[in-house]
Amino acid sequence: MSHPEKLTVGTELKGPIRAVTPERIEWYDSGMLSAASNKLAQVGSNIHTDDEYAQSEGFPAVMADGMIMTNWCSTMLIENFGLDYLERGSLRTKFIKPIYLNTIVHVKAKVLSKETTDTGTSYKLDVWCEDQDGLKVVDGDSTIEVRN
């Protein structure tokens, strides 16, 4: 974990840079289904796993589940704020563009405000993901209370 006390308004955080691959989509989708069913399960055809199905629904190709990027944003917040984020933080995301296979995703954040409270410091952040061309594909925000 970094030192959030050193963050100032305007500080930009850089999170993971990852490629959207078929394997990552499969790990996420099958992992979620397996956890929900309490047994090893594989996801069937849907817009995240099957090109023909995605095309039948009006998309040009398979696209990543937006929650994958939310998890990557959460990873960045954990790396920078640790337990403070997990215990007293929030993250909201909005998926604003489809993210297709082989897209390189850059996770970023910017400190919008930093306020001293009775128990510590409260941070508000703009959180987003960009593709390899710098286009925003996920938009979001986070609030985190860092305790003294």
- What tokens does 73 get? 């944003």
Higher pLDDT, 5 or 108: 108
Residues 109/70, Cβ–Cβ less than 8 Å: no
CA distance 69 to 8: 25
In this prediction the pTM is: 0.90
pLDDT level of residue 128 (50, 70, 90 thresholds): very high
- What tokens does 100 get? 């297709």
Report angle CA 12, 71, 114 to the nearest 5 degrees. Answer: 35
Write the DSSP symbol of residue 6: G
Provide CATH code, domain 1-20+65-148: 3.10.129.10
Residue tagged 């979620």 (tokens): 32
Q: Does pLDDT of 111 surpass 80?
A: yes
Helices assigned H by DSSP within 38-65: 51-56
Intervals of CATH 3.10.129.10 along the chain: 1-20+65-148
Q: Each residue of 89-102: pLDDT tens digit?
A: 999 999 999 999 99
